[in-house]
Amino acid sequence: MSLTSTKADGAQIVTVNAARIDAAMAIQFKEDMRSETESGPDRVILDLSSVQFIDSSGLGAIVAAMKQLGGGRRLDLAGPTPMVEKVFRLTRMDTIFNLYGSLNEAVSANNT
């Protein structure tokens, strides 16, 4: 799983450099998220704009990634493709996460 991490405006941005977060990828994703976010800002933005496909294992791994951040920290999602957004909507996980149309939107939401 390829994740890269940067910081902007007091938030940590983790970018998923993969086209799929599926069953074959989910455990690795969760572990990589753990090591990327072990310490750092309270707000983590997950940039999903490269992800063309997610299944329920991938969705579960994102939920797990939020849980393992622990109290007071939060995971926001940026740039979901229509397919990814649909899986969040159908499972009602769109009511749990803040979803932003783009990374820029997510980062600027930090300042308000």
Cα separation of 23 and 41, whole Å? 29
Contact present, 18 and 51 (Cβ < 8 Å)? yes
Q: How far is the CB of 21 from other proteins (least distance, A)?
A: 11
Residues contacting 58, CB < 8 A, separation 6+: 20, 21, 22, 23, 25, 26, 29
Of the residues 18, 21, 51, 59, which one makes contact with other proteins according to CB under 8 A: 59
List the interface residues with other proteins, window 27-46 (CB under 8 A): none
Of 79, 97, 24, 10, the closest CA to residue 55 belongs to: 24
Scanning 3-11, 40-48, 52-60, 103-111 for contacts with other proteins by CB under 8 A, the matching segment is: 52-60
Cα separation of 59 and 39, whole Å? 23
Specify the residue, 8 or 41, whose C-beta has the smaller distance to other proteins: 41
Scanning 7-15, 36-44, 86-94, 104-112 for contacts with other proteins by CB under 8 A, the matching segment is: 86-94
Q: Interface with other proteins by CB under 8 A: which residues? A: 20, 22-24, 53, 55-57, 59-61, 63-64, 66-67, 82-83, 86-87, 90-93, 95-96
